[in-house]
Structures are given as structure tokens and as C-alpha cells.
Amino acid sequence: MNSRYAKKLHELERRGRLRELAPVKQYDSGSVQYKGKKLLNLSSNDYLGLGQDSELLQGFYLELECGKSGVSGFSAASSRLLTGDSLLAHCLEDELANAYKCESVLLFNSGYHANIGILPALFSKGDLILSDKLNHASIHDGLQLSRADHKRFRHGDYEQLYDLLKKYRKKYDQVVIVSESVFSMDGDEADLGRLIELKHEFDVKIYLDEAHGVGVYGRNGLGKAEEKGVLQDIDFLVGTFGKALASIGAFVCCAKEIHDYLVNHSRSFIFTTGLPPVTVNWNRFVFRHMLGMNRERHHLQQLSTQLRHALREKGIATRGSTNIVPVLIGDDSLAVAQAKKMQEQGYLVLPVRPPTVPEGTARFRFSICANMQWKDLQKLPFQLAAMTPGEKSEK
């Protein structure tokens, strides 16, 4: 191995940041096989448990066997602008647009493809992007690829955002505020009401990433914007199929002219093979099913609230208000060691370390899913308290 890379890998290992691949085998009720042991999976984004729903999967296979799906192959074999387009893709986009009550929807191959493709395509010289500092990596990479100026405001600090808008708005042709709706590592949420107020006061656009909101929030599971009643105020709403919808792919809800512009200017859309028809059909199948899963959404919120309360009762600091429940550890090596202890006790907990999170904030990210029950989680606060993780809460 090249010595330069070997040294860097050694340094990552020394600091407790070396990442390795380890295959898992899916079971049901939130469990997986990991390194030969059956563990409760607290590191998944399968928030509704759809990825482990064998009955749902059998229903999908039955549609394929009956020929009702219109799937003619397992590969698009080309970009959508060549011969990789399909009627299935257009039908899915139309169904999404109808659900979100927007003019148009465009599919992308993943949330990462969406964020690195949309931001550089729509915003260039003479524009300004204002982004929450805790937006996830694909958004930060999209900022770097864009030729627009960009500034990051402190997480959830809308007073600082206001000051930035007041100072810079008139200097730029277009200004866009970029935020996640549910933040993936802290489990908290954006103040959409305040963002909408700023949008109208300063005549700016809102780009909202609902990666961790779709499926989980809103009467129809369309995300936080639906839950807060502000869908029509969001200029660019990005959702994914790769988390609560147990698949792969993403979409953006937007105006028709934006859709057409992206088809002609978004490099991550133009220069990649389209999603496989079988995947597009599964996305359509599971999206329809998700719309009616209010019982599962309610159970998920109850379970998450119950766990947060139990952690705080044990003096364990946690943040947020969603089904993503973080526990701050601090030191990278300590997080790795304690994660191994959690695995020994029956929980698949993987340490989250920089650069995924800021320096000094290594943590556990408990991801609660709707196919879990309280009996699966009730011992967790006791076992965690015995390890005395870094940050303690004040009851």
C-alpha cells in the first residue's frame, strides 16, 4: 500500500476514526445479524420498518409475477435523456406531484445526487446560498460545487440568519435558505414557520431537505412541511426513498420551469444511468403504502418520546424531539469502546464520529423504528447509564 495512505489510515485508527465495512443480515422486528450475533438494530434509517415487512415484499413480488407492474427489465441501461427513461418514472413523478400538490417532480438516483445536482444547477455567480451549519454532507458538497457565494449560519440560529439576510440580500440576484427539516445527527427540527417568515420578508427562496421527514411526519407522511401546513411555501422540497421508504432514489418538488431547467442543467441527473425500472416500481408501490401508515407514525413518535424520557430520568443527556435520539459521548475512542459494549448487550449501536459530526461530539445515534416495541428498548437506559457516557443531563 502507498505509504502516504497507510500513514493516514494508521492515524485514523489511532484516533478511533477508522471505518470498516461489516455486512448485516436482516431479520424482522428491527433485528439484524451483525458479526454473527442477532442484535436490535438502532443504527438504521428504516423508520417505518418497511424494509423488514415480508408481507409487503410478497405483495410487490405478486404484482411483478402477474405482470401488472409494467416492469420490463432490471436496468435502465442508459441515462434518462438517452434511452433510460420509462413510463414508470413519469407515473411516479406524477403521483408524487399530485400528493405534494406541486407543479412538477423530478427523480434523482439518491439524495446525494439531488443535493450535488440541484444547488449547482440553479445557483451561480451573483447568487447567495445560506445554509444551516448542521446540514448533511451532500448539501455541503453541493455548496462547494456551486459557483454561488455561500455562507453557513449557526445551527438553528435564525437571528444570525436574519442578520445575514439584512446585510447581504440586496447585494445578490437570488438568495436561497437551505435547511434540513429533521437534522439527521441531532434529531431536532427546523423552525419552518420562522424560515417562511424570513422568506417573505426578504424575498428569498427556501430549499428544504426532507430526507428524514418523508414517511414519518404529516397526515400523509409527506414530511415536516406537510405537518406544519407550509408545503406551498417551499420552493424546492427534496425527499428520498432511501430512508423511511426502504429503497433508493430521491425527488425534488418544484415549479415546472425548474423541472425543465434541471433536466437540461443538473449534471448528476444528466450524466448518470436512470434508476432501474424495478426500483422505480418498488418506489411507487411503497409510496402508495406509506401514505396510509398513520398508526405506525403515531407509534413511532410515542416510542421515541418514551425513550427520551427514560434516558433523561437516568441522567443521560439527549437532544431533539424526533425518532432520532442522540446520546453525546464526546471522545472518539470512548464512543467506539462503548459501542462495542452495547453490541455485547444485544444492541447494534455504531459510533458516529467526526467529520460526520463536529469535533468533540462523537455520539450514539439511536434510530427508532416503527417495528420496534417498548419491551425492546426498556433496558437500554439502564445499560447505558452503567457506562456513564460523557454528557449528563439535568433533570
Task: Report the 10 Å Cβ neighbour count for 191.
Answer: 14
Side chain identity at residue 373, one-letter code:
Q
Task: Give backbone dihedrals phi and psi of 243, rounded to 5 degrees, phi first.
Answer: -120, -100
Q: Which residue has the cell 443521560?
A: 316
Choose among 65, 111, 81: nearest CA to 207. Answer: 111
Q: CATH: 3.90.1150.200, 3.40.640.10, 3.20.20.70, 3.40.50.1240. Which one for 68-290?
A: 3.40.640.10
Indicate the SS3 state at residue 115. Answer: helix
Question: What CATH class is the domain 15-48+294-386?
Answer: alpha beta
Core vs surface per residue 70-98: b (16+ CB within 10 A) or e:
ebeeeebeeebeeebebebbeebbebbbe
Choose among 195, 231, 194: nearest CA to 213. Answer: 231
Instruction: List all residues 6 or more positions away from 30 whose beta carbon is below 8 Å from its beta carbon.
Output: 40, 41, 44, 49, 52, 369, 371, 372, 376
Q: What is the DSSP letter of 152?
A: E
In angstroms, rounded to a whole number, what is the distance separating the alpha carbons of residues 184 and 239? Answer: 14
Structure-block grid coordinates of residue 73: 427489465
Q: Would you give the distance in Å from CA 158 to the centre of its chain?
A: 22
Structure-block grid coordinates of residue 43: 443504527
Angle between helices 256-265 and 111-122 (to 10 degrees): 100
Residues constituting the chain: 395
CA of 357: how far to CAs of 332, 354, 395, in Å? 11, 5, 25
In angstroms, rounded to a whole number, what is the distance separating the alpha carbons of residues 344 and 338? Answer: 10
Give pLDDT, residue 394. 42
For the segment 9-24, what is each residue's pLDDT rounded down to a tens digit? 999 998 888 988 888 8
Secondary structure E strands in 241-389: 250-254, 324-330, 347-348, 351-352, 362-367
Give pLDDT, residue 65. 79
Q: Which residue has the cell 420578508?
A: 201
**Half-sphere exposure of 38 toward its Cβ, with a 13 Å CA cutoff?**
6
Q: Where are the domains of the chain?
A: 15-48+294-386, 68-290
In angstroms, rounded to a whole number, what is the distance separating the alpha carbons of residues 226 and 288? Answer: 16
Give pLDDT, residue 64. 83
Same fold flag, 15-48+294-386 and 68-290? no
Q: What is the DSSP letter of 50?
A: G
Give pLDDT, residue 68. 64
In angstroms, rounded to a whole number, what is the distance separating the alpha carbons of residues 339 and 333? Answer: 10
Indicate the SS3 state at residue 238. Answer: strand
In angstroms, rounded to a whole number, what is the distance separating the alpha carbons of residues 349 and 334? Answer: 13
CA of 63: how far to CAs of 43, 66, 190, 245, in Å? 31, 5, 39, 18
Choose among 212, 240, 257, 292: nearest CA to 45. Answer: 212
Q: Which residue has the cell 449557526?
A: 154
The low-confidence residues of the chain, meaning pLDDT below 70, are 1-2, 67-72, 388-395
Give pLDDT, residue 77. 87
In angstroms, rounded to a whole number, what is the distance separating the alpha carbons of residues 130 and 211? Answer: 19
